[in-house]
């Protein structure tokens, strides 16, 4: 089987300059999950802080960090984080989705589509719609 890559049509996972490093982190996590079938990394989030609840969670996190270590790097004389907590938590969340729904399910969820608003044209309006009849883009389905 060939190397897993993100298709060109997949929505941004975090955006900006952190997009490509975060995608690499997700792919590293997917590779770890693929090589450890049946093992369930368990995480808990309290007050926005993610905690590893078992060794599998620590191993997954270490596999992700191996491609984007938590260090400062210098670019054009300015110091930048090569990986921050948002990138790490995003990668872990996306890997959890992949583990639960498969890579194909993940790609489907991350493919941008447009749908018509389901508002009737009178209150109450669809909470995702600014006014009736507009196209409403679907974002990533992460849980």
Rounded percentage of the chain residues whose pLDDT exceeds 70: 70
Write down the residue that tokens 């368990």 correspond to.
Answer: 42
For 88-124, how does the pLDDT look when each residue is reduced to its tens digit (9 = 90+)? 889 999 999 999 899 998 988 888 765 444 555 544 4
Euclidean distance between CA atoms 61 and 85, whole angstroms: 12
Residue 46: pLDDT over 60: yes
Asked if 112 and 137 touch (Cβ cutoff 8 Å), the reply is: yes
Name which of 132, 103, 133, 119 is nearest 29 in CA terms: 103
Q: What is the pTM of this model?
A: 0.71
Burial of 31 from C-beta contacts in 10 A (0-12 / 13-18 / 19+): middle
């Amino acid at each position: 089987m060939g190397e897993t890559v993100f298709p060109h049509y997949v929505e941004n996972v975090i955006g900006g300059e952190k997009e490509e490093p975060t995608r690499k982190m997700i792919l590293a996590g997917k590779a770890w999950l693929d090589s450890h079938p049946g093992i369930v990394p368990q995480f808990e989030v309290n007050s926005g802080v993610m905690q590893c609840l078992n060794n599998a969670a620590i191993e997954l996190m270490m596999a992700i960090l191996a491609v984007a270590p938590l260090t400062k790097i210098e670019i054009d004389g300015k110091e930048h984080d090569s990986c921050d907590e948002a990138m790490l938590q995003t990668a872990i969340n996306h890997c959890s989705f992949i583990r639960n729904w498969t890579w194909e399910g993940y790609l489907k969820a991350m493919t941008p589509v447009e749908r018509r608003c389901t508002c009737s044209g009178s209150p109450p309006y669809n909470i995702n719609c600014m006014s009736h009849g507009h196209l409403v883009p679907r974002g990533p389905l992460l849980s």
